[in-house]
Amino acid sequence: MKKLVLAGFLSFGSLISSTQAQNAPNAAKMSAFTRQYLFEAARANGKTLVPGYVYKFIGGQTFISAFIRVNSTVDENAITSLGAHTGTKAGNVWTVQIPVEKVKEFTTIAGITHIDLDMPVGPTLDQARKATKADSAQKGYNLPTMMTGKNVVVGVIDAGFDMRHPTLFDTLHSTYRVRRVWKQKNAGTPPAGYSYGQELTDPYVIMTSGTDTPITSHGTHVAGIAAGSGFGSASNNRYRGMAYESDLVLVGIMPAPYQWAMPGTSDIIDGMNYIFTYSASVFKSAVANLSWGSSIGPHDGNSFFSQACDALTGPGRIFACSAGNNGGDTIHLQKTFTASNNTVSTFVTFSPYLAADNQRTWLDVWGDTAKSFCLNFRLFNGPSAIDSTVSLCMADTTTSFNLVGSNGDTCFITVSMVANEYNGKPHAFLSFYSRVPDNICLTATGTSGTINMWEGYVFPPTGYYGQLKKLGYPFAVSGDTRMTTSDYSSTHSAISVGAYTSKAGFTNISGASLGYPGAVVGRIAPFSSMGPTADNRMKPDITGPGFALASGVSSYDTSYAPGGDNYNAVISKVTMSGRDYPYAMAAGTSMSSPAVSGIIALMLQVNPLLTPDSVKKIMRISAITDGFTGTIPATGSNTWGWGKINAYKALRYMTQTTEVENTLDKTGLDCILYPNPSTGNFFVNFLSNKADILTISVSDIGGRVVYSRSMPVTAGGNTLQIAADNLPKGLYFTRISNSENKIKVIKTIIH
């Protein structure tokens, strides 16, 4: 077989175009996805927006979303002078919006080392509270108080929010609990620090705004599982969520129906930062939930999304996400090359849910650092190839092929390669569009190293997955279901959530009994994605109930109205002011993730200073294992994580342990508290650089201030005595602040 380092000809098929696109001196290194955009945009010659990318429409101008990595020499004025807008700055990874006509020019700005255009993403309770033991935690059995998420912020990054659904109110429908809304794809006044979307801060304005989009109920259902009050369901609590007294921040990420653009990874980071910025402004901890994902990405915890997420999370700032719904799909293939075993072939197929005239898919191939590989494409109709390409070997290039099928029509393939991506690995991003009935064979060759490839495609607003198959050809192999958790799940700080079956059937609003064929209560859900990550870390971290859960759905989504496609899933409704607000069943890791996020909010109620690692540790210690999970290995399970989440046991562990941990101090206040634990009499040693006023307050786990004192301090060392021996035994939080509003919070045990 011939090999070609820079594709310049084809053996049978036709080469449409090829660009080497090498970087100019000091220019940003472009990811494979960025290279593909520039290639396709040049081919379109400005006649239309290239489909498949993440656009925003700001002030009548079109922008494309991206991540950039910067160094200390970056000049933000050079970015803004080009008409681009910066957003979240998570360490040296920033989100940006770039005018579509300025992308190539943008890559030459000094101080920007890498650019990666946004990858599109798609969306992936009555029994749930019992299965997770959250019902016992909410009632406060043998706990210091009822665990309801009070004084914790639950952020939901999603789409399809019904802003007036009764589940977003308190249990009496008297207090509205949504504190902030950012409709990212709507016109209006954006949040501070951002150039796009509409921020709503007034409760009445939020309620009267209706919805962010009427074409889905995903966000309402997810928010209800995590934090819904269940008002209007049986006894006003049957479909109650986990943290039903928490505050809610909603981030709508889906474009309006007339916009064929789609949400992307930088939207998620911006939304996460928005949630954490708000929670910090009101001195509360927060958990941000994402029930969307994509199979595309390196899956090694080093994507720009993962780097930004790791920079944003920390004490009191937790991110949880769904593991993905590809546990039954052979979308992954791994091959380790040797000198004597240097070839692997598989057939790329398309999702059966895509229209016959829209047979599209992507394939993302990542290799080992300092290794290389080559790719070849063939069409088969029967035992022999009817058209093929030469081998295209790793280089910084984008190439487009046409393969002619047995019907005389065309299979279009675009290959964007980067020999050394932002994570140091070789990377090839492949785009397929086929109008032929023939089988598409991909062959990869190499002499050493391991490659991993993942298939998936996002067509607004949904993810579509074909499979990698053998198709009966003796030289080919099928893909597998390993490493099918989303790239987001591979983030080191993320709490990745798989799903198990908590309900096998239900009775709908019409009285019909419906079941899920093959569902067994307690068993892993057949769709729950599996690990490990590409760098061989366990994922998911935990499983939660996700097959199936009841929660609110949007009254604007006509698919849940009588005669709609999803009406059979409606189980009850509440009518208020002449409007019906339904509750319905849904399944997926989209549902298990908010169940776990809500439980994390209960944990943050006990300890607002929990870190992502602390959350994982407590989940590991308290997880349920049974005959379905089997014995979890010491290194964890790539199906179950540490097992099934157990809210009650986790909270019992947190309130009973005398271990004092997780002091929050982002401002450098020099003070210590001792002894800790104490009988209520303790001291604060404080080193001040000036005469000042120090305020010390002690709060219980419900957020109620039970002791407060302000006192003068002098420059130098100060010892302050706190006499709180009248307080009951339990867990408290001591907050120390000075006149500059620098704050330190210390977990305090009184015994």
Radius of gyration for the chain, computed over Cα atoms and rounded to the nearest angstrom: 27
Segment among 12-16, 36-40, 500-504, 714-718 with least mean pLDDT: 12-16
Q: If we measure between CA atoms, which residue out of 24, 25, 23, 19 comes closest to residue 37?
A: 19
299 with 490: CB under 8 angstroms? yes
What's the pLDDT at 664? 55
Angle of helix 647-656 versus helix 612-622 axis, rounded to 10: 110
Arithmetic mean of pLDDT, 11-37: 66
Give the model confidence (pLDDT) of 433-454 as tens digits.
999 999 999 999 999 999 999 9
Segment among 95-109, 512-526, 552-566, 714-728 with least mean pLDDT: 714-728
Mean pLDDT of the chain: 88
Arithmetic mean of pLDDT, 674-697: 85
678 with 123: CB under 8 angstroms? no
What's the pLDDT at 460? 65
Q: Which residue has the tokens 């201030």?
A: 705
Arithmetic mean of pLDDT, 647-668: 67
Query: How far does Cα 32 stand from its chain's mean position?
Result: 22
What's the pLDDT at 666? 53
Arithmetic mean of pLDDT, 562-583: 94
Q: What is the rounded distance in angstroms from the CA atom of residue 87 to the CA atom of residue 109?
A: 17
324 with 489: CB under 8 angstroms? yes
What's the pLDDT at 681? 87
CA-CA distances (angstroms) from residue 152 to 149, 288, 309, 419, 608?
6, 11, 20, 45, 8
Please, which pLDDT band fits residue 170 given cuts at 50, 70 and 90? very high
CATH of domain 31-117: 3.30.70.80
**Mind giving me the DSSP string for 95-164?**
EEEEEGGGHHHHTT-TTEEEEEEPPB-EE--HHHHHHTTHHHHHHTTTSSS--S-TTEEEEEEES--BTT
Running DSSP on this structure, what letter comes out for residue 637? B
Q: What is the rounded distance in angstroms from the CA atom of residue 156 to the CA atom of residue 220?
A: 9
In CATH terms, 3-17+329-469 corresponds, of 3.30.70.20, 1.10.3080.10, 2.60.120.1290, 1.10.150.80, to 2.60.120.1290
Arithmetic mean of pLDDT, 189-203: 96
Please, which pLDDT band fits residue 7 given cuts at 50, 70 and 90? very low
Residue 283 φ/ψ region, left for φ over 0, alpha for ψ in the -120 to 50 degree band, beta for the rest: left
191 with 199: CB under 8 angstroms? yes
Share of the chain above pLDDT 90, in %: 66
CATH 3.40.50.200 residue spans of the chain: 124-325+487-654
What's the pLDDT at 169? 96
Q: Please check the confidence at residue 24 and state whether its pLDDT lies above 60.
A: no
What's the pLDDT at 688? 82
Q: Please check the confidence at residue 123 and state whether its pLDDT lies above 80.
A: no
Q: Please check the confidence at residue 129 and state whether its pLDDT lies above 80.
A: no
Q: If we measure between CA atoms, which residue out of 530, 538, 389 comes closest to residue 2?
A: 389
CATH 2.60.40.10 residue spans of the chain: 670-750
Q: Please check the confidence at residue 592 and state whether its pLDDT lies above 70.
A: yes
CATH of domain 670-750: 2.60.40.10
542 with 642: CB under 8 angstroms? yes
Give the model confidence (pLDDT) of 481-540 as tens digits.
999 999 999 999 999 999 999 988 999 999 999 988 888 999 999 999 999 999 999 999
Please, which pLDDT band fits residue 138 given cuts at 50, 70 and 90? confident
Give the three-class secondary structure for 712: strand
Q: If we measure between CA atoms, which residue out of 459, 457, 403, 463 comes closest to residue 434?
A: 403
CATH 2.60.120.1290 residue spans of the chain: 3-17+329-469
CATH 3.30.70.80 residue spans of the chain: 31-117
Fold assignment, 124-325+487-654: Rossmann fold (3.40.50)
Q: What is the rounded distance in angstroms from the CA atom of residue 386 to the CA atom of residue 407?
A: 11
